[in-house]
């Protein structure tokens, strides 16, 4: 027996979006606690590395659960993405946090470009800017 799908099966209703978002936000909050548990259990993983797989499953749950509840195209992707964004916004050690200096380091690195050097009047050699010898051009001797 074959079933035909109509165009209305592929469209998202408001209730679909709300249910998917609520489930995903709930898992985003769970992710914050789960991240802390993962870090606390890291010493155990050195003894028994396959035990990590048990903890990995929780990060897959929002996509699977939203996909099963909503049953619309892209629901699993939406659920996983929203949960990850919520976890990142709340703050986790793997996401961006307000105290994370990484975005500012990128701006700092770009200010050392030749055009930024001339505009600011403070020029640095490529050796002082590069943190790794691989980033220093071959023609430069440090």
What pLDDT was estimated at residue 39?
85
What pLDDT was estimated at residue 130?
47
What pLDDT was estimated at residue 139?
55
What pLDDT was estimated at residue 25?
96
99, two tokens: 């105290």
Expressed in angstroms, the distance from the first to the final Cα of the chain is: 74
Q: How confident is the model over 16-46, as pLDDT tens digits?
A: 999 999 999 999 999 988 888 888 888 888 8
pTM: 0.60
Q: How far is CA 46 from CA 2, 39, 42, 50, in A?
A: 51, 12, 7, 9
User: Mean pLDDT per segment of 10 residues, for the chain of length 142 residues?
Assistant: 67 94 95 87 85 85 95 94 91 64 51 50 52 52 54
If you search the block for the tokens 């990484």, which residue do you land on? 102
If you search the block for the tokens 């499953």, which residue do you land on? 57
């Amino acid at each position: 027996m074959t079933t035909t799908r109509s165009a209305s099966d592929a469209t998202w209703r408001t209730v679909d979006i709300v249910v998917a978002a609520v489930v995903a936000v709930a898992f985003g909050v769970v992710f914050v606690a789960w991240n802390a548990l993962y870090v606390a259990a890291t010493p155990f993983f050195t003894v028994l590395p396959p035990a990590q797989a048990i903890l990995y499953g929780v990060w897959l749950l929002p996509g699977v659960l939203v996909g099963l509840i909503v049953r619309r195209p892209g629901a699993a992707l939406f659920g996983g993405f929203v949960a990850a964004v919520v976890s990142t916004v709340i703050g986790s050690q793997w996401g961006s946090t307000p105290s994370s200096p990484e975005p500012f380091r990128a701006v700092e690195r770009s200010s050392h470009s030749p055009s930024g050097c001339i505009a600011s009047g403070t020029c640095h050699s490529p050796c002082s800017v590069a943190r790794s010898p691989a980033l220093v051009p071959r023609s430069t001797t440090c």
